[in-house]
Amino acid sequence: MTQAEKGDVENGKEKGGEKEKEQRGVKRPIVPALVPESLQEQIQSNFIVVIHPGSTTLRIGRATDTLPASIPHVIARRHKQQGQPLYKDNWLLREGLNKPESNEQRQNGLKMVDQAIWSKKMSNGTRRIPVSPEQVWSQLFRFILLVQLLYHNAIHVLYLFYYASAIRDFL
């Protein structure tokens, strides 16, 4: 077999291989979904509320906001009114938690956890900045006002304000 014949055979193989690749890896154009124009006009980004839950903060705002309201995650419990049975969670309130020695152990454990958290640096190499109770209260109050603006429902706002005052009293 001469060099020319080998070249023809290789070219034939390459051409056949290219055809196979073209058939297997055919890229189809991406066509956007067709949305009727009437729906496009109805949906406006000013009316879309975005809720972005994070590990430490909850961000809530409109879709057009560049800096949505950022609220730290906290837990609030409503005080029971007189005459209502006291709810006890068996998982949280175990026997032996109200003994004097268990309170001391709890405080020691909390100190150890606090020291471990503050001794570690974050992934970017900086130290953690503690969140003051005043900052939590002010951000929570901003969140209440934002909810009032978004929902225009005074009852929900009163409940949120009640929870916020309970958190402020706790801090």
Q: Which residues pair with 52 in a beta bridge?
A: 59
Q: Pick the closest to residue 72 from 157, 119, 137 (CA basis).
A: 137
Question: Taking each helix axis from N to C terminus, what angle separates 133-151 and 154-170, rounded to the nearest 10 degrees?
Answer: 180
Q: Residue 58 — pLDDT band, cuts 50, 70, 90?
A: confident
Q: Is the pLDDT of residue 30 over 50?
A: yes
pLDDT > 70: percent of the chain: 46
Average pLDDT, the chain: 68
pLDDT for residue 57: 86
Instruction: Please count the other Cβ atoms lying within 10 Å of the Cβ belonging to residue 50.
Output: 13
Give the model confidence (pLDDT) of 75-119 as tens digits: 766 666 777 776 666 666 667 666 777 778 878 888 888 888 777
Taking the C-alpha atoms of residue 48 and residue 73, their distance in angstroms, rounded to an integer, is: 22
Question: Which pLDDT band, with edges at 50, 70 and 90, does 12 fall under?
Answer: low
d(CA 163, CA 141): 11
102 compared with 27, residue with greater pLDDT: 102
pTM summary value: 0.27
Query: Taking residues 52-59, what's their average pLDDT?
Result: 83
